[in-house]
Every structure is written in C-alpha cells, then in structure tokens.
C-alpha cells in the first residue's frame, strides 16, 4: 500500500486543482497554528501597555495644579513648624509659660517638664513629639480662664492630658478665698 512518487505524479496529473488546494490548505493550517499564539501574546502586551499608558495619563491628569498646591502646602507646614517647640530648649519652653503667667496675672505654683518616655504614645513613628509639662497656677476664675485661653490659642500647639481645678482653702473657714488652683498635665507639640 506504499505510495511512491510515481503514484503521486499520477494523482497530481489526474486532479491538479484539488491536490494544489489541499497542499495550500495544509500550508495555511500550519501557518495559522504557528501564528495563533502571536495573537494572544500581542493581545496581552497591548492590554499591559494600555494599562501602563492609562496610568501615566492619569498621573499627569491628576497632577495638574499639584505644583501650586504643593507650594501652598509647603508654605503652610513651614509656618506651622515655626510654632513647634524643641524638647532640648527647656529654658525657652518654660519662658513661654512664664510669659503667659505675666500676661494673665495668675501665679505659678509649680512648673515641671515631664520625662519624654512618660508622654510617648505607642504606635507608628511620628514626625513630631509631644513635649510634656506639669504646671500649677493659682488665680481667680477669670484669670484661670484667661490663662487657659492663652494656652489653647497660643503660639505653640497645646494638648491637654489631664487637669484639676480646685478651690483654695476651707469653705467658710478663715482662709476662704476666691482663689482657684489649676493643675495641668499638658503637651506642647515639638520637634524631637
């Protein structure tokens, strides 16, 4: 049943069109099979390039006006940072409280810096740190409110940890007065 060249020649002579079309079909089938993977590859590559290109376009689109906003933000943060205290500058920090004391008329009873570890909060590393102080002042109700107002709206950023407001002396006793003692545990926002 073996087919030799002579048989093929005879077959070719007998049906040249059919044989030619058959050979062409085989060639086209093989070609299609070999090139089919290229379509998939290019499709994936196109998808990847589209995503990359779109991301780049989005970046550019989202970034319009960013330079101006960044400039404005930098100016703001610079201004804010000028209001921070430095934990190492103890004398200057205490001077801040003394100035408020003289402005408001309260009498300072006690002013102590708090150890850094005592106020440090657990969590992610922060850019700024709270510089802790315990301060006790004495004065009448108006002066105390004024003192608090100066702290709350003062040059440095202030956070209250705890506070005690207590009346001075025994009520109705010989040492009774309008004086109030305010003890604050507070933090001023500062640079480490």
- List residues near another protein by CB under 8 A: 15, 17-22, 24-25, 28-29, 31-32, 35-36, 38-39, 42-43, 45-46, 49-50, 52-53, 55-57, 59-60, 62-63, 66-67, 69-70, 73-74, 76-77, 80-81, 126-128, 130, 141, 144-145, 148-149, 152, 157, 159-167, 171-172, 187, 189
Closer of 62 and 115 to another protein (Cβ) = 62
Taking the complex as a whole, the smallest distance from the CB of residue 16 to another protein amounts, in Å, to 9
- Exposure of 140 by Cβ count < 10 A (0-12 exposed, 13-18 middle, 19+ buried)? middle
Closer residue to another protein, CB minimum distance, 72 or 91: 72
Q: Are 127 and 177 in contact (CB under 8 A)?
A: no
Residue whose token pair is 């940072």: 81
CA end-to-end distance (rounded Å), the chain = 96
Q: Show the tokens assigned to 47.
A: 């998808």
d(CA 50, CA 150): 58
Q: Cβ closer to another protein: 35 or 122?
A: 35
């Amino acid at each position: 049943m073996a087919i030799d060249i002579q048989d093929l020649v005879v077959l070719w002579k007998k049906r040249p069109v059919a044989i030619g079309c058959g050979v062409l079909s085989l060639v086209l089938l093989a070609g299609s099979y070999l090139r089919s993977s290229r379509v998939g590859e290019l499709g994936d590559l196109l998808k990847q390039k589209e995503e990359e290109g779109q991301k780049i376009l989005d970046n550019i689109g989202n970034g319009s006006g960013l330079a101006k906003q960044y400039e404005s933000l930098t100016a703001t943060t610079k201004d804010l940072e000028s209001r921070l205290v430095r934990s190492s500058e103890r004398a200057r920090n205490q001077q801040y409280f003394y100035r408020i004391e003289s402005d408001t008329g309260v009498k300072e009873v006690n002013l102590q810096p708090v150890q850094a570890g005592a106020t440090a909060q657990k969590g992610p590393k922060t850019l700024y740190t709270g510089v802790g102080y315990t301060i006790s002042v004495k004065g009448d109700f108006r002066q105390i409110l004024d003192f608090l107002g100066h702290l709350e709206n003062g040059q440095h950023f202030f956070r209250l940890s705890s506070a005690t407001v207590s009346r001075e002396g025994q009520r109705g006793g010989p040492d009774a007065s309008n004086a109030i003692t305010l003890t604050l545990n507070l933090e001023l926002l500062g640079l480490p």
